[in-house]
C-alpha cells in the first residue's frame, strides 16, 4: 500500500538530487538487517520446533511501524521506520517459508510457493488501488504528472495513506492467528540438533552462492519508479498505476512459473527468469519514451513469476524438513546481505554516471549468474 509511494514521499522531504542516495541507503540497510534476522529466525524456528510464533511477531512489528511513517518529518525518519519494518520481515520470512515447504509434497512445491507469491502480489495490487482512492479523495486527482518537488497538499494525502495502512495489517494478523496451523516434521538427528549448519548439503551452498551473485545486481525496485519519475516526469498517480500493473503481471506469471518448475525442473525456469531480468534492465538503460519505459516495467513481472516460487521450492527440495528453517535462513540471509551493496552501489553509480550505466551493471551481473547456474551441483530430493 505504501511501498511505491516512498520515492515521492522522500522527494518531498529531501532535495530531489539526493533522492537516489536516500532510496539506496534506505533499501540497502533495511534489507541487510532483514536478511541477518532471516538467518537467525530460521535457525531459531528449527531449534524450537515451532515456527508460527515468530511469524506472528514479524508481521506484528511491520503492522505497527508502517503507519508511523505518517508522522515522518525528514528523510532519515523514513529510512529508520523502513528499517524497523524490514526487521519484522526478517523475523517472519524464513519460518513462514519453512511452514509452506513442510505443508505440501515435493511435486507441488513450485505451485504452492508461486500461489503464495501470487496472493502477496494481489495484496500489492489492492493496496495501491486503495492508496489511489485515498489520494483522489484528498486531492481530487491522482497526481499523474510530477511538478518540481511535491506539493504540501500531496504530502498531507500521503501521510493519511501511511496512517491507514494499519487497517490491512490488523486483518493480516487476525488471519494468521486464527487460520494457520503447523504440521509435523521429520525427526532430527540427535547428533546434529536442529539449527546446525554442518549437515546442509554442498549443493545448497552452491545454489545460494549463485543467487547471491545475481542479488548483487538486483537493486531495489524503487529505482525503477524513481527512473520514471526523474527521466519521464511521472507523478504519484502514475507510480501507483505502474505498481498495480507490475503486480498484475507478477500474478499472471506466478502460477505458470510454479507449474513449469514442478513439471520441467526448477533450474530451467530460474534461468528464464534471470534472463528476463537482464533484458528488462538493458531495456531500461536504452528506453527513450514513456511507452517503452511502461512496457518494460510491466514485462519485469515475468522475472518474478519465473523465479520467486521456483527458487524457494528448490531450497525445500535440497534439504530435509527439520533443516528447512536453517536452509531458508541461509538462502534469504545471503541474498539480503547483498542488498546493501546492491542498492547503495546502484545509487552511487546512478549519481556518478547516470541511470543507464547503473541498469547496465545490474544486467551484466544477472547475465553472469545465469551462465553459472547450470554448473551448480545437482541432487534435488
More confident residue, 91 or 336: 91
**Farthest CA pair distance, the chain:** 65
Q: Which of 148-162, 197-211, 250-264, 301-315 has the lowest mean pLDDT?
A: 148-162
Output the average pLDDT for the chain. Answer: 84
Per-residue confidence at 286, pLDDT binned at 50, 70, 90?
A: very high
pLDDT tens-digit readout, 315-340: 888 888 778 888 888 898 888 788 77
Buried (b) or exposed (e) across 245-263, using 16+ Cβ within 10 A?
Answer: bbbbbbbbbbbbbbbbbbe
Instruction: State the CB neighbour count (10 A cutoff) for residue 244.
Output: 19
Q: For residue 312, which of 204, 165, 177 has the smallest C-alpha distance?
A: 204
| Residue 16, C-alpha cell as written in the block | 530531489
> Which whole number is the average pLDDT over 285-308?
94
| Sequence-separated (6 or more) residues with CB below 8 Å from residue 114 | 254, 255, 257, 258, 259, 261, 305, 308, 309, 310
Report how far residue 175's alpha carbon sits from residue 67's, in angstroms, rounded to the nearest whole number.
Answer: 20
Instruction: Give pLDDT, residue 150.
Output: 64
- Give the mean pLDDT of 222-240: 84
Write down all domains in the chain, each with its CATH number in brackets.
3-179+198-375 (1.20.1250.20)
Please compute the mean of the pLDDT values over residues 202-221 and round it to a whole number. 92
CB 50 within 8 A of CB 182: yes
Of 297, 145, 134, the closest CA to residue 225 belongs to 297
Q: What is the mean pLDDT of residues 8-24?
A: 79
Nearest to 172 by CA among 250, 119, 128, 135: 119
The answer, yes or no, to whether residue 114 has pLDDT greater than 70, is yes
Among candidate residues 4, 50, 3, the one with its CA nearest the CA of residue 241: 4
Find, among 132, 161, 200, 182, the residue nearest to 72 by Cα. Answer: 161
Per the rule left: phi > 0, alpha: psi between -120 and 50, beta: everything else, 188 is beta
Which ranges of the chain does DSSP label H, i.e. alpha helix? 6-11, 19-48, 52-68, 75-103, 109-139, 152-164, 166-179, 202-216, 222-232, 236-264, 266-286, 290-299, 301-318, 324-337, 339-353, 355-372
Q: Give one word for 180, left, alpha or beta, with left for phi > 0 and alpha for psi -120 to 50.
A: beta
Residue 147's pLDDT is what?
45
Name the DSSP letter for residue 188: P
What is this structure's pTM? 0.74
Across-strand partners of 145? 234
The band of 275, judged by pLDDT with boundaries at 50, 70 and 90, is very high
Amino acid at each position: 500500500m505504501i511501498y511505491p509511494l516512498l520515492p515521492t514521499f522522500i522527494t518531498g522531504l529531501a532535495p530531489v538530487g539526493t533522492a537516489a542516495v536516500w532510496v539506496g541507503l534506505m533499501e540497502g540497510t533495511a534489507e541487510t538487517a532483514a536478511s541477518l534476522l532471516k538467518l537467525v529466525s530460521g535457525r531459531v524456528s528449527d531449534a524450537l520446533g515451532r515456527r508460527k510464533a515468530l511469524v506472528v511477531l514479524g508481521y506484528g512489528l511491520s503492522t505497527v511501524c508502517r503507519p508511523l511513517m505518517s508522522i515522518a518529518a525528514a528523510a532519515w525518519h523514513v529510512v529508520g521506520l523502513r528499517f524497523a519494518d524490514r526487521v519484522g520481515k526478517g523475523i517472519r520470512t524464513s519460518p513462514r517459508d519453512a511452514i509452506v515447504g513442510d505443508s505440501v509434497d515435493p511435486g507441488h512445491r513450485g505451485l504452492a510457493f508461486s500461489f503464495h507469491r501470487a496472493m502477496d502480489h494481489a495484496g500489492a495490487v489492492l493496496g495501491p488501488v486503495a492508496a489511489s482512492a485515498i489520494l483522489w479523495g484528498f486531492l481530487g486527482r491522482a497526481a499523474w504528472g510530477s511538478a518540481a518537488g511535491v506539493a504540501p497538499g500531496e504530502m498531507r494525502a500521503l501521510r493519511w495513506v501511511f496512517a491507514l495502512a494499519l487497517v490491512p495489517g490488523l486483518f493480516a494478523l487476525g488471519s494468521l492467528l486464527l487460520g494457520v496451523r503447523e504440521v509435523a516434521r521429520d525427526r532430527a538427528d540427535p547428533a546434529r540438533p536442529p539449527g546446525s549448519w554442518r549437515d546442509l548439503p554442498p549443493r545448497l551452498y552452491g545454489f545460494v552462492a549463485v543467487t547471491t551473485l545475481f542479488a548483487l545486481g538486483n537493486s531495489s525496485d524503487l529505482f525503477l519508479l524513481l527512473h520514471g519519475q526523474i527521466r519521464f516526469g511521472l507523478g504519484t498517480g502514475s507510480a501507483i498505476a505502474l505498481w498495480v500493473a507490475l503486480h498484475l503481471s507478477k500474478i499472471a506469471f506466478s502460477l505458470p512459473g510454479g507449474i513449469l518448475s514442478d513439471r520441467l525442473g526448477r533450474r530451467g525456469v530460474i534461468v528464464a527468469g534471470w534472463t528476463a531480468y537482464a533484458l528488462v534492465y538493458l531495456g531500461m538503460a536504452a528506453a527513450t519514451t514513456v511507452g517503452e519505459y511502461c512496457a518494460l516495467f510491466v514485462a519485469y513481472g515475468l522475472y518474478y513469476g519465473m523465479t520467486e516460487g521456483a527458487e524457494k521450492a528448490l531450497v525445500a527440495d535440497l534439504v530435509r524438513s527439520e533443516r528447512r528453517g536453517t536452509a531458508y535462513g541461509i538462502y534469504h540471509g545471503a541474498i539480503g546481505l547483498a542488498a546493501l551493496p546492491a542498492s547503495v552501489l546502484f545509487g552511487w553509480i546512478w549519481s556518478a554516471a547516470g541511470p543507464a550505466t547503473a541498469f547496465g551493471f545490474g544486467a551484466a551481473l544477472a547475465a553472469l549468474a545465469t551462465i553459472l547456474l547450470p554448473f551448480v551441483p545437482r541432487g534435488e530430493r
